[in-house]
Structure 1
Amino acid sequence: MPVTEIISDPATLTMNIHAEFDASVDRVWSVFTDPRQLERFWGPPGWPATFTRFDFTPGGLAQYSMTGPDGETHHARWEFLRIDAPDSFEVLDGFADEAGELLTEMPPMRMVFSFVDEGARTRLHGVTHFESLEALEQSVAMGMVEGTRMAMSQLDTVLQSLRDYAQGKGTRLEVLDDQHVRITRLVEGSRDLVWRAHTEPDLLRQWLLGPDGWRMTVCEVDPAVGGHYRYAWEPVDGTEGQAFGFDGENLVMDGPRRSVTTEHMTGTDYPSTTNDLQLFEEDGATLLTLLIEYPDAATRDIVLATGMLDGMETSYERLEREVLASV
């Protein structure tokens, strides 16, 4: 994780972040000043950012929104006050309405990002200046410290090419906290096609089968927000196991970039999970990132102990072999 420390200082009305990256200063500068790369980490897991405007010049504006797993959206904006490439830039950051006008409920913050060149490594020093102690305490209470730490933890993925980060490493699992895990898998295929493979029943039936020896008996999909889906499987050819299925609701559908759904085991009183799938494409390959939210650590551990990850890897291998390579 690149973040070394985050310190809020009531005496100076600041919050300081220190981070280190195994990348050149030019590379780190580029991910902070390119909106398409910023979108991949500016916002903690479950609250990705979408930049709709990015006038990277002194006096220019950047507008963005962050949409949570329940579809709730918060809008914000940057006003670029100073740019000294590739050493530092300064912005006025504040919550905004959909038109980009600053909201008055919470005063904007002045943020300064400084980058120190250490050859193959880069140190980041970020300082956020608050107008009052109340504004600082309000930001801390809203989870700004932990949110910033989790957002910056995603930077390692962005700084590397997708193939360097994930190719040949299969389906990987990271436990983020008691309720959240992140699963990543690089697949060979365009983002548009991977999105179709996750939303079109004819394609889903070809690969979403888990371990060999199972067949999909139900595949019902309504891809609209608020729509529902239902999947079911049963063993074949003497494979041990009992038929089962999942059902859920679509909370966010932002194709071909992101979908958020609930997932519940059909016919049981087990609690639902929230599954946040995001797709990023680079050089003909797509990185799938699945953030799963469990109700508690006990449920998380029970599900992970079922061999879920192995079943997912088998399905993703089948996705590449049966769908992406043939369409």
Structure 2
Amino acid sequence: MPVIDVTTDPEALTMTLVAEFDAPVERVWDAFTQPRQLERFWGPPGWPATFTAFDLCVGGRAAYFMTSPKGEKAPGAWEFLAIEEPHRFEVLDSFTDEHGDPVEGMPSMRTTYDFTTTDAGTRLTNVTYFTSGEALEQVVAMGAVEGSTMAMNQLDRVLAGLRAYAQGKGTRTELLDDTHVRITRLIEGPRELVWRAHTEPELMTQWLLGPDGWRMSVCEVDPTVGGRYRYVWEPVGDTEGQEFGFDGETVLSEPPRRAVTTEHMTGTDFASTLNDMTLDEEDGATLISIVIEYPDRETRDMVLATGMTDGMEASYARLEGVLVG
């Protein structure tokens, strides 16, 4: 993971994050100063950022909002105070309302980003300066340490490029914390087509089958917010097993980039999970990232022990064949 240290200093009124990247300073600088790259890692998992303005000059302003899996928006803004390309920039970082004005009762913070060359690539030293101990405590209590760590730890795949990061590695499962898991899989194909393959029944029934020997007998999908879905699988031929299915609701839909749904095993009293899928495209390939929120660690471990990752890999391999065909 790129982040090697995060510390808070109540006496100096600072929070300092240090991360190291296997990429030259100029490449890391680009990732922090080009909004389409920045929004691919700036928000932590489950809260991706969308930048609506980015004026990279002293006195210029960047505006963004992060969107939760349930659609809540958390806006923010930077005012650029100093720029020394490609080694340093400094901003005044503020929580804002929907109009871009600072939120009363929330702190504004001076924040520096310093990029230095190392033998392995680049070291980032990110220091946030607070005006009071209360402001520091407030931001830390909001999850700033955990959120910034998870956000910066997503930067590797942006720096490497999607193919170098994921091609040939199949479906990967990453434990984010006790209740969150991230699944990633690179698909050779454009994002629009991958989106359609997740929302159109005539395509879904061709690939979303899991291991060989199963078929999708029911595929009912309403991908609009508030819409319901229902999937049922049944064994074919000599395959052993019993029919099973899932049902749920679309919570958030931002075609063709992001969809959030609940997922419940039909006919059981198991709690639902929250499945947050994002699609990122680069040079004709699409990275599928799904952050799954479980009700507790025990449920997370039970589901992973079923061989979920292997089943998803079988389906994704089939999806690539459908897209090529």
- Tell me, yes or no, whether TM beats 0.5: yes
**Given the alignment of the two structures, is residue 189 of structure 1 paired with residue 177 of structure 2, yes or no?**
no
1:259 aligns to 2:259 (yes or no): yes
1:296 to partner: Cα distance: 1.0
What residue is the counterpart of 1:123 in the other structure?
A: 123
After superposition, what is the alpha-carbon deviation per residue over 1:256-313, rounded to whole angstroms, capped at 9, x for unaligned? 1111111000110011111111111011100011111111111111111111111101
Matched with 1:58 is 58
Q: Which moved more, 1:179-188 or 1:111-120?
A: 111-120
8 Å contact from structure 1 (residues 24, 119) kept in 2 = no
Partner of 1:139: 139
The DSSP-based 3-state class of the residue aligned with 1:290 is strand
SS of equivalent to 2:104? coil
Using the alignment, how far apart are the partners of 2:243 and 2:109 within structure 1? 54
Q: Which residue of 1 aligns with 2:301?
A: 301
Name the counterpart of 2:86. Answer: 86
Q: Deviations over 1:27-60 (max 9, x none)?
A: 1111011111111111111111111111111111
Partner of 2:113: 113
Q: Secondary structure at the match of 1:187?
A: strand
* TM-score scaled by length of structure 1: 0.98
The amino acid that maps onto 1:238 is D
Corresponding residue number in structure 2 for 1:73: 73
- Retained in 2: the 8 A contact 1:197–1:204? yes
Who is 1:211 aligned against? 211
1:239-272 per-residue CA deviation (whole Å, 9 max, x = no partner) reads 1000000011111111111111110001100111
Q: Give the distance between the partners of 2:301 and 2:15, measured in 1 at CA.
A: 35
Matched, 1:24 2:27: no
Give the corresponding residue for 2:286. Answer: 286
**Which secondary structure state, in structure 1, belongs to the residue aligned with residue 98 of structure 2?**
coil
CA drift of 1:120 comes to: 4.4
Cα distance, 1:107 vs structure 2: 2.1
Question: Structure 2-normalised TM-score?
Answer: 0.98
Matched, 1:246 2:243: no
Give the deviation of 1:99 after TM superposition. Answer: 2.2
Deviation at 1:157, TM superposition (A): 1.1
Q: Which residue of 2 aligns with 1:49?
A: 49
AA in 1 matched with 2:192: D
User: Which ranges in structure 1 are unaligned for 5 or more consecutive residues?
Assistant: none
Q: 1:150 — aligned with what?
A: 150
1:236 matched to which residue of 2? 236
Task: Name the SS for the 2:204 alignment partner.
Answer: helix
In 1: Cα distance, 2:223 partner to 2:292 partner: 19
Secondary structure of 2:94 counterpart: strand
Residue aligning to 1:325: 324
> C-alpha deviations, 1:177-233, integer Å up to 9, x for none?
111111110000000110111111111111111111111111111111111111111
Q: In the superposition, relative to structure 1, how do residues 26 and 119 fare at CA in structure 2: closer, same or farther (>3 Å)?
A: farther
C-alpha deviation, 1:118, in angstroms: 2.2
Partner-residue secondary structure (3-state), 1:56: coil
Q: Hey, what's the Cα distance between the residues in 2 that align with 1:304 and 1:99? A: 43
RMSD, aligned CA:
0.9
Amino acid in the other structure paired with 1:325: V
Deviations 1:112-134 (A, max 9, x none): 00000125411111110111111
Q: Are residue 8 (structure 1) and residue 11 (structure 2) matched?
A: no
Q: Distance in 1 between matches of 2:228 and 2:131?
A: 46
Corresponding residue pairs, total: 325
Give, in whole Å, the separation in 1 of the partners of 2:184 and 2:10: 38
Question: In 2, Cα distance between the equivalents of 1:37 and 1:55?
Answer: 15
| Letter paired with 2:324 | A
